[in-house]
Amino acid sequence: MNTKDAPASVNVVGGVVTAIGRILISLFVPVVTFLVLWRVFLFLRDSEAPQIAIIVVAILWGVGGVAVLFVVSNWFVEQLPGEWGRRLQPFVFIGPAVAIMGWYLAIPVVRTLMLSFKGPLGQDWIGKGWALFDNYNFAFTDRIMLETFRNNLLWMILGTSMSVGFGLIVAVLADRSRFESVYKSIIFMPMAISFVGAGVIWKFVYTYRGVGVGIQEIGLLNAIVLGLGGESQPWLNLPPWNNLFLIIIMVWLQTGFAMVVISSAIKGIPDELLESARIDGASEVQAFFGITIPYIKGTLLTVTTTIVIFSLKLFDIVRVMTGGNNGTNVIANEFYLQRFTYGNTGRASAIAIILLIAVVPVIIYNLREFNRDRRAF
């Protein structure tokens, strides 16, 4: 054996052993914790002690027992030789959290993937060979499903671009105002409202009561139209414009988020850069596109991808406002209908997997950008 290959083989073996050690350390704490707490639960369940005593013992045993387990695990790792202890010690603390989160994330995904190849009741396989993909064939050929893909694409393009665009404009303009905090508070305020609450609020804005004797419009938008001499309209029943009216709600909610993140990035631009540009004769527009935009490009991409993820898994607004009717259906709402209205577990699971596949690349891109920015610092 070539002596030059010896260090490489040692490094490979050391890496494998380290990986195995990290996995075992990560699994040791949650597994032992579960077993101990389960036994204590069985003991306390059958105990005839006073209720308050059982509660106190459960809290002390649960919190104290886990703390002791971490201390013991940490002590054990510290007894290892220096290099091994340094490699394994972080996983005493972060390993259990990663293992538990991985369990809670992996099991539902695997279970959903299996159900996507089964029939409506989720019990029997839907077929053999290519017939096993019938649920996915439905998802990519059904007229209503194609409509949901189109609508989600519309939300992703228009909703994201408008939210980021308005957020950028407000961040730049408010930064130069004496009342910056007031303006930003007003724009950010919708973020404190749940999506369901926002849907209820805007439903009153778009409300249409109809035309007839004694009928009075209570919708804000129709009241404005009537005040200007026009006729009231069923705004949410007018495809494809009803999708735009719904997207406005998303813009109203997400502009505040985009504004806050972008504003913090703009404040991080060194004043010397902007002053130098002005001294060299650059206009405000030239400084904005030549310095501000390139400097905050990473932040703009992060905000954009975050809102894209939201638009892909959008559900609440559409469900509250229209229920997906009149050409406004989206992927998440169709999943809900297939599972809880039509009772078709197989199709609902296939739609969920498609939605997951659509979201994962955006999440991976976000993580890569985050790691790149962290390395830059």
CATH code of the domain in which 196 resides: 1.10.3720.10
Determine which of 141-155, 202-216, 306-320 has the lowest per-residue pLDDT on average: 202-216
In a domain, 351, yes or no: yes
Per-residue DSSP letters for 56-101? Answer: HHHHHHHHHHHHHHHHHHHHHHHTS-HHHHHHHHHHHHHHHHHHHH
pLDDT at 375 over 70: no
Domain that holds residue 368: 132-376
Q: How far is the C-alpha of 110 from the C-alpha of 112, rounded, in Å?
A: 5
In a domain, 218, yes or no: yes
pLDDT for the residue 304:
93
**Can you tell me whether residue 49 is helix, strand or coil?**
coil
Same domain, 250 and 156: yes
pLDDT for the residue 55:
80
Same domain, 303 and 247: yes
Q: What is the largest CA-CA distance in the chain?
A: 98
Same domain, 45 and 151: no
Query: How confident is the model over 145-173, as pLDDT tens digits?
Result: 999 999 999 999 999 999 999 999 999 98
pLDDT for the residue 349:
95
Residue 325's region, left for phi above 0, alpha for psi from -120 to 50, else beta, is beta
Same domain, 272 and 140: yes
**Can you tell me whether residue 118 is helix, strand or coil?**
strand
pTM: 0.79
Same domain, 225 and 79: no
| Count of domains observed in the chain | 2
Helices and strands (H, E) in the chain, number of each type: 17, 0
pLDDT for the residue 19:
75
- Rg (the chain; Cα; Å): 28
Top-confidence residue, 128 or 318: 318
